[in-house]
Structure 1
Amino acid sequence: MRSGIGTDVHRLVEGRPMIIGCLRFPDEPVGPEGHSDGDVAAHAACDAVLSACGLGDLGSNYGTSEPRWAGAAGAEFLTETARRATDAGFSILNVAVQVIGNRPRLGPYRTEIEDLMGAALGGVPVSISATTTDGLGLTGRGEGIAAIATCLVERAD
C-alpha cells in the first residue's frame, strides 16, 4: 500500500461559479479563479492520488499549457486521474479531503459531494470535511479557498 497527499488553493473572484467537490453552489457570489473550474476539492484529491501512485502532481499531468484542460470540470480530472492510476497498476482504496474556507457551508451537502467525487473516481469511497481558519490567512479573510487531501492505494497485481 502507498499513501499520497495533495493540496490546492484558488483565489476567489466575482463572476466565477463556486464549485467544490463536483457540486455547483449557485447562490455564492464568488468562485475560484483558475485555468479549469477551480474545484479545490477535486484538484487536491487528484494530487493525492497522483502522489500515492508516484505519478507526479496536477500541474505535471494537466498543465495550464494544455488547451484540453481549459475550463475542465473537477469530475473530468478525477476520472482521468483514476484511469491513470489504474493504468499504472494501482487500485484507489479511499480519498479524504478537507476544504478550508469560510464559505460555502459544506455540511448539508457532504454526502452529495462524497457521492459525486466517488462516482467520478469509479466508485472509490470519498470522505469530505470542512474547516475555517478563524479569520486568519487568505481563507479566513475570504480571499481564497483551499483543500488538503489524502489517498490510499494498493498495487492491483
Structure 2
Amino acid sequence: MAEKPSTWSQLLVGYGEDAHRLGEGRELWLGGVRIESDRGAIAHSDGDVLLHALSDALLSAFALGDIGSYFPDHDPKWKGLESRVILEVVLQKVRESGYRLSQLSAVVTLDRPKLGPHRTSIQQHLALLTGLPEKRVGLTFKTSEGLAPDHAQCRVVVYLEPLPEKQGEKS
C-alpha cells in the first residue's frame, strides 16, 4: 500500500534578496514601516528591501520569476509603487497555487539608522500584511561593518504549506 505524502513533503521553501543604494532626502521603508532617517532607498518603487525580498522569496518557491517580471522598473506606471501592493499580488499568487505562508525569516543589513528600536513595529506590520502570527516572523538586523554604508540589503527565507482544503486533495 502506498504511503500518503507527509506534510513535510508538501512544504515549499523560497529564498529572495534585494538591495538598494541609499540617497539623501529619500524615505526609508522596511517591512511596510516608514523608518525615520535622513536617507532612503533609491528605487523605482518605495524601495522597501524587506518586502521586495519577501515577495521574491514567495515567487521563487513556485518558480514564478521575480518581482521585476510583474512590476518592471522601466514601466512608468509602477513609479512610486508601494511595496505592500507588490506583496499583496504575490500572496494572491501563492493562494491561487494552493499554498499559504507558514513562516518567514529575514536578515536586514543596514548601517544606520539602528533598526533594533523598530523591530516590534516591523514584526507586527509584517504579521498584519502576511496573516502570520508574530512568532512566525523572524527578523535579524545586521550592519555591514562599514563595508557598504550607503546601501540597504535584505535576505528572506520562507516556508509555505498547502492550504488546509488543498491538503485533503493531495492525500
Same fold (TM over 0.5): yes
Pick aligned residue for 1:18 from 13, 18, 28: 28
Larger radius of gyration: 2
> Runs of 5+ in structure 2 lacking a partner?
1-10, 167-171
Shift of 1:150: 0.5
Identity across the alignment (%) = 33
Pick aligned residue for 1:121 from 105, 119, 130: 130
Pick aligned residue for 2:159 from 143, 146, 152: 152
Q: Is the 8 A contact 1:75 1:117 kept in 2?
A: no
Q: CA RMSD in A?
A: 1.6
Shift of 1:68: 4.3
Pick aligned residue for 2:141 from 119, 122, 130: 130
Q: Secondary structure at the match of 2:157?
A: strand
Would you say how many aligned residue pairs link Structure 1 and Structure 2?
152
Alignment of 1:101-112 (within 5 A): 101-112=110-121
Deviation per residue, 1:70-122 (Å, 9 max, x gap): 21222222222111111122111011111011012111111210111221123
Alignment of 1:70-109 (within 5 A): 70-109=79-118
State TM-score, norm by structure 2.
0.82
Q: Secondary structure at the match of 2:16?
A: strand
Task: Give distance in 2, aligned partners of 1:71 and 1:21.
Answer: 16
Equivalent residue, structure 1, for 2:13: 3
Task: Give distance in 2, aligned partners of 1:66 and 1:121.
Answer: 27
Q: Aligned letter for 1:123? A: L
Task: Give distance in 2, aligned partners of 1:74 and 1:151.
Answer: 18
Task: Give distance in 1, aligned partners of 2:34 and 2:23.
Answer: 15
Q: Is the 8 A contact 1:53 1:153 kept in 2?
A: no
